[in-house]
Structure 1
């Protein structure tokens, strides 16, 4: 079966809003990795208890298996660096092997397409990992832009029902938490040395030479390590054995995204590729069964234009990454827009009584038709989530990804707010589903219920423990 393009799917749906508000999983052209019911689970939802797993990166040490779910792209060739520089708002001209950096890409109008992490592996060899939007954007330009570069997808996917395993070049594990350093030192047979943040090193794990990236999560130290995919079990088992005396916890699917929300990571906005004549060729090239065609726009914030869901790098706090000293797609637009008012990222701590009222409605026949709470993570990571957010009755931004964290005994949401919102303010989240879609894929709307929340920093630091009255 030939997969249709994103552009043809948009025309079939009647426009981007009808497409993005629709259910996707029953589409005949959906790739298996976007059809959860067709996948044999590789990572359990829980290894022990998700509450216990959540506490591990705050109190001890956690092991995350990232082998299967992240999309990747390899670039190799004389023009690999130039390709990245032409597409990224940040400057890759000084990039050196052994260093990783964030990549942020925008369209001609300066609206965000996506971000990810680029690893400079060797002189002319890079890899990029993330949600997939940036990798697809890079692949398109690698194939159509006249660059001397070879681009190869490292496709996300676990094991398929027919028994054929999806083999990848590397397995990938993340070791995080206050005791991560002790586990890493034991694995390495001694101190790893002074590895700077977002720099790479090498170490032997389970008899296999692995590369490692120094970074952290929620303020805790850690490493991301990767090695030969065919030796993934040996590498994983060696990490588990080294971590046994330190109480290492394996983190399952239920707890995985909680740490991201605690860390203030805004997973993704709607990629700014669904409109505009200059992007039509990209939409015609882009297969409809990738993330851009499979993601769903959910939440209570209803707009009449898809552009109202677009965001700029300034809105997500990426302004410091922009280097106007090199030419890149969207450079002129970002120069014009850099003095415009921008949103900023915050964390919202839900009012316990308002959260409880949603649970009560879920358990009350004939009660409000609410959007259900799914503990611990309440927003599918394929969704691009936009809930209304008001202060004193005035809309001030949007609330997004939501989770319950046992570390704080709180429900938290990541949000983007305007400059009028201050830390400690009480805002109201419009919790619900605006609904929409087309054909047989319509998502029904729900009642929109108000959830009071305290504005806190991102990464999260609990405020008003003493002075916020819980009523």
Structure 2
């Protein structure tokens, strides 16, 4: 009998870490094209002029409403919701959820849009955690998934969602809005009007460039996008495909995903029984050279993800006691790959003998795994994990977000990491693993308008 829950999936395998490492990626949330024009010019537009990305259809949207909405959200995440209790909407909160041991389940952006009314946008992992706790706890709250990327082509989302970013982003938006564009501090919100359509605006820039994320009624999607293109034409505006969009996050220091910390803790047994065998949590695809039989070795803390400033101990939340006692062992950094070593990987394709793992450009790893972990070495010992790799043409570098032991986290430290994936994935070709040199740099590495959330 086929498993029906995540708990049954775990019971059906000897080692879930090994199962995930040998699972091919079977789902791609980026339902928009890889490129609209050319990924190199799309990356350059973000850094040199202005770019727009249509975020309307690739993220799940969860509505949370009711008198206990704040109590629920505050309990299942590390963030303090005091400003939602006392301040006026709209507001945005970079929501981070942890398990009882203080390891991250996932993160999203939660928008406070009205009294007892919230909308969470992003991955489904934190949404499942919110929904489960809403049902299992004594909360007067209603939750509803109003859009999921699987609905693409069958149902429109409630809202259009565009991100306009780059050195000329605010000049473009100044022309797009009715009246004058309000000054919005970083990661703060306001409302604007575009051709009479009330639109929310969040000051935000995922590629470390200044910009706005705007959203409003989806029926005006085409009209608003056309207005952005018309205003941006003089600056050479480009629409980002998934290649340029995904790689921009590396320079901005945002960890896209780590294994959700839900597979081992006894207190989460009910949650594993609630999650279906068809959930994304039940079919992860782990890639990279790091290989451990212990699934908890793939978990990450808020500190090593660079999210420690979001943890607020002035309220009760899942994982609080563990985080209060936890010492930071690793630091979020950027690895700058050695160019000669990278060229040698490509050169292996043109000589005799085994080849090395091919390096896709610019989105290095997400074509063959959903979550990536390469082991970082210093003097032959594992001292960290290289997590999210890619190429940025405006830096002329391959780089990756990583987490390393504190003693090796200083900028300029030389390390190596192992490039390869010795598993049975059909999407991974036969190859010999190879060490690539890297230099530790700060994260965020690209600066140009983004500050700490």
The TM-score with structure 1 as length reference comes to: 0.88
Selected match of 2:395 from 399, 408, 422 = 408
SS at match of 1:195: coil
Q: What's the offset of the Cα at 1:446?
A: 4.4
Partner of 2:13: 13
Rate the CA distance shift 1:52–1:316 in 2: closer, same or farther, 3 A: same
Q: What's the offset of the Cα at 1:70?
A: 1.2
Q: Deviations over 1:185-231 (max 9, x none)?
A: 00114431222222222222355322111122444211101111232
On the 8 A contact 1:6/1:287 being kept in 2, the answer is yes
Q: What's the offset of the Cα at 1:405?
A: 0.8
Q: Deviations over 1:278-329 (max 9, x none)?
A: 1111011112323212321111011121111111112112222211121111
Partner of 1:234: 223
Q: Deviations over 1:150-199 (max 9, x none)?
A: 10113332666xxx522211111100011001101001144312222222
Selected match of 2:137 from 139, 145, 170 = 145
Selected match of 1:177 from 157, 166, 169 = 166
Q: How many residues align?
A: 442
Partner of 2:411: 423
Q: CA RMSD in A?
A: 2.3
SS at match of 2:348: helix
Q: What's the offset of the Cα at 1:443?
A: 7.0
Partner of 2:438: 453
Partner of 1:398: 385
On the 8 A contact 1:301/1:434 being kept in 2, the answer is no
Q: Which residues in structure 2 correspond to 1:265-304 (within 5 Å)? A: 265-304=254-293
Q: What's the offset of the Cα at 1:365?
A: 5.5
Partner of 1:212: 201
Rounded Cα–Cα distance in structure 1 between residues aligned with 2:446 and 2:47: 13
SS at match of 1:414: strand
User: Which blocks of at least 5 consecutive residues in structure 2 are unaligned?
Assistant: 448-453
On the 8 A contact 2:61/2:120 being kept in 1, the answer is yes
Q: What's the offset of the Cα at 1:130?
A: 2.2
Q: What's the offset of the Cα at 1:372?
A: 1.6
The TM-score with structure 2 as length reference comes to: 0.92
Q: Which residues in structure 2 correspond to 1:18-417 (within 5 Å)? A: 18-24=18-24, 34=27, 43-95=32-84, 96=87, 97-157=89-149, 165-337=154-326, 340-364=327-351, 366-368=353-355, 370-380=356-366, 383-417=370-404
SS at match of 1:113: strand
Rate the CA distance shift 1:25–1:434 in 2: closer, same or farther, 3 A: closer
Greater CA deviation, 202-211 or 109-118?
202-211
Rounded Cα–Cα distance in structure 2 between residues aligned with 1:180 and 1:211: 16
